[in-house]
């Protein structure tokens, strides 16, 4: 494996810092630091210095000091560095690469002997070349999908995934479908060290597919969810969770009628995983429900409320189906922690709704008006439907420990808990 010097690591770490960490004074200091490193003999150090100088120039042009340092970099020993310097000095102009250079980049990126910082620079060149409109977009997209699946460096995989998502709008519908199918095939590898990075990018890339092709991808995921390999089903559940969380972007790209809303179908896939054939599948389903649904920072309150109203009965019935799995208890506890936080926020906000809201084609996919605040009827009356919060308080305390479960009062025929709404009388 190629050796990366400490100077190169320091430059890369500096380039990875968030923009807020660079004040004008700090940016000038880092410019001088990178300019000094750009005169080193080590190729990887010079390449990392050019990438850092480019970012600093984008943040603070500052009279062109960074560009002057980039222009002085010696690049006689590397074609990648030469084109990278040309790209930085072009200041955003489209980059044109000869066909033989593109082929060489494809070969270098798949070699384990190529330093990862060189692969990062190559991905930068391919991304800017794709913006020119004269590049083989499908060939580049296929190459990026292969890097996501087989690259030996995590940083290269993430860079390739982000580059693929940036390239997605420039692909035609049939090209997007071909890349999505290729990534779906990658889920079937069954090797967790390779497949665990695919779902995050496959899920977001699939949302660029037309409705018919997206339905085909979901059908393919449904089939793979029946696999006997828990590593495959875990990757499928992760992909479903990403699509569920990011689905609002799809409705803005491909407006459809409310009847075509797919989040219920995605929740059905997660519920199917919750009753999987092995503990690893059930644990992954619980993890995805907690992270991508009830604990998501992307979903609004209407989305989470609808998800809970659609899944509460299944969650209640599945909590004691497999009592002998100790590790599943902790996955369930983590999911319930996210769910309880959501329910607490709902109660503190005064929202009380016992029916799932309907999807809307406007905004983020849900009505923006607040939910009705009329108190629900007392759940102890036979004619009323128990509210979601009452069901949680009544039926779920039995999950407080992994040992012997305490049956709920209603299951034993005892008295029902008091009505949670203050306006009701029991």
What string of H, E and C letters represents the secondary structure of 381-421?
CCCCCCCHHHHHHHHCHHHCCCCCCCCCCCCCCCCCCCCCC
pLDDT at 391: 43
pLDDT at 207: 96
Q: What is the DSSP letter of 350?
A: T
Which pair of tokens denotes residue 286?
Answer: 């619980």
Distance CA 320, CA 334 (A): 16
pLDDT at 152: 85
Instruction: Name the residue with tokens 């102890």.
Output: 380
Q: What is the DSSP letter of 62?
A: G
Three-class secondary structure of residue 352 per DSSP: coil
Is residue 165 within 8 Å of residue 123, measured between CB atoms?
no
Please state, as a whole number, how many other Cβ atoms lie within 10 Å of the Cβ of residue 310: 15
Distance CA 344, CA 272 (A): 27
Which pair of tokens denotes residue 354?
Answer: 């016992």
Nearest to 138 by CA among 173, 110, 104, 108: 173
Is residue 5 within 8 Å of residue 45, measured between CB atoms?
yes
pLDDT at 287: 93
- CB neighbours of 79 closer than 8 A, spacing ≥ 6? 101, 104
- CB burial class (10 A; 0-12, 13-18, 19+) of residue 333? middle
pLDDT at 290: 93
- CB neighbours of 309 closer than 8 A, spacing ≥ 6? 353, 354, 355, 356, 388
The C-alpha angle with vertex 192 and arms to 186 and 198, in degrees rounded to 5, equals 40
H or E segment to which residue 426 belongs? none
Which pair of tokens denotes residue 299?
Answer: 């979903």
- List, for residues 344-401, the tens digit of each pLDDT value: 988 888 755 555 565 654 444 444 334 444 444 443 333 334 444 444 444 444 343 3
Nearest to 273 by CA among 313, 217, 314: 314
Distance CA 157, CA 149 (A): 8
Nearest to 335 by CA among 307, 302, 293: 293
Which stretches of the chain score pLDDT less than 50? 1-3, 361-426
- CB burial class (10 A; 0-12, 13-18, 19+) of residue 110? middle
Q: What is the DSSP letter of 58?
A: H
pLDDT at 277: 77
- CB neighbours of 272 closer than 8 A, spacing ≥ 6? 225
Q: What is the DSSP letter of 231?
A: H
Helices (H), 77-191: 79-89, 99-109, 116-130, 137-150, 154-167, 173-187
Alpha carbon 409 to chain centroid, angstroms: 41
pLDDT at 24: 81
- List, for residues 333-354, the tens digit of each pLDDT value: 889 899 999 999 888 887 555 5
Give the relative orientation of helices 388-395 and 326-349 as an angle to the nearest 10 degrees: 140
pLDDT at 143: 95
For every residue of 314-337, DSSP letters joined together read HHHHHTTS-TT-HHHHHHHHHHHH
Instruction: Name the residue with tokens 């992270």.
Output: 291
pLDDT at 349: 83
């Amino acid at each position: 494996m190629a050796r990366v010097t400490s100077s190169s690591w320091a430059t890369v770490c500096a380039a990875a810092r968030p923009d807020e960490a660079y004040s004008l004074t700090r940016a000038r200091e880092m410019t001088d630091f990178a300019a000094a490193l750009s005169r080193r003999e080590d190729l990887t150090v010079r390449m990392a210095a050019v990438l850092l100088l480019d970012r600093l120039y984008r943040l603070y042009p500052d009279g062109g000091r960074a560009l002057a340092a980039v222009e002085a970099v010696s690049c006689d020993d590397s074609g990648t560095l030469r084109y990278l310097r040309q790209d930085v000095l072009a200041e955003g102009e489209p980059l044109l690469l000869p066909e033989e250079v593109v082929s060489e980049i494809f070969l270098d990126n798949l070699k384990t002997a190529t330093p990862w910082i060189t692969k990062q620079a190559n991905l930068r060149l391919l991304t800017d070349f794709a913006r020119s409109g004269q590049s083989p977009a499908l060939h580049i997209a296929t190459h990026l999908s292969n890097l996501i699946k087989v690259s030996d460096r995590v940083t290269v995989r993430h860079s390739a995934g982000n580059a693929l998502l940036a390239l997605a709008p420039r692909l035609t519908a049939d090209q997007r479908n071909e890349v999505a199918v290729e990534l779906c095939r990658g889920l079937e590898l069954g090797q967790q060290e390779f497949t665990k990075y695919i779902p995050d990018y496959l899920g977001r890339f699939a949302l660029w597919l037309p409705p018919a092709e997206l339905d085909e991808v979901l059908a393919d995921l449904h089939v793979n969810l029946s696999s006997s390999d828990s590593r495959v089903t875990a990757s499928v559940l992760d992909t479903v969770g990403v699509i569920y969380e990011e689905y609002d972007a799809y409705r803005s790209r491909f407006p459809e009628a409310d009847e075509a809303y797919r989040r219920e179908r995605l929740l059905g896939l997660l519920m199917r995983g919750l009753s999987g054939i092995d503990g690893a599948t059930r644990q992954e389903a619980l993890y995805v429900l907690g992270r991508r649904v009830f604990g998501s920072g992307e979903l609004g309150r209407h989305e989470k409320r609808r998800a809970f109203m659609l899944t509460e009965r299944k969650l209640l019935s599945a909590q004691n189906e497999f009592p002998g799995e100790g590790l599943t208890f902790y996955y369930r506890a983590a999911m319930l922690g996210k769910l309880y936080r959501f329910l607490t926020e709902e109660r503190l906000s005064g929202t009380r709704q016992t029916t799932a809201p309907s999807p809307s084609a406007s905004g983020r996919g849900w009505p923006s008006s607040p939910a009705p605040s009329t108190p629900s009827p007392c759940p102890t009356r036979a004619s009323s439907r128990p509210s979601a919060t009452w069901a949680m308080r009544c039926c779920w305390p039995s999950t407080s420990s992994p040992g012997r479960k305490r049956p709920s009062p209603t299951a034993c025929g005892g008295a029902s808990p008091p009505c949670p709404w203050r306006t009701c009388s029991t």
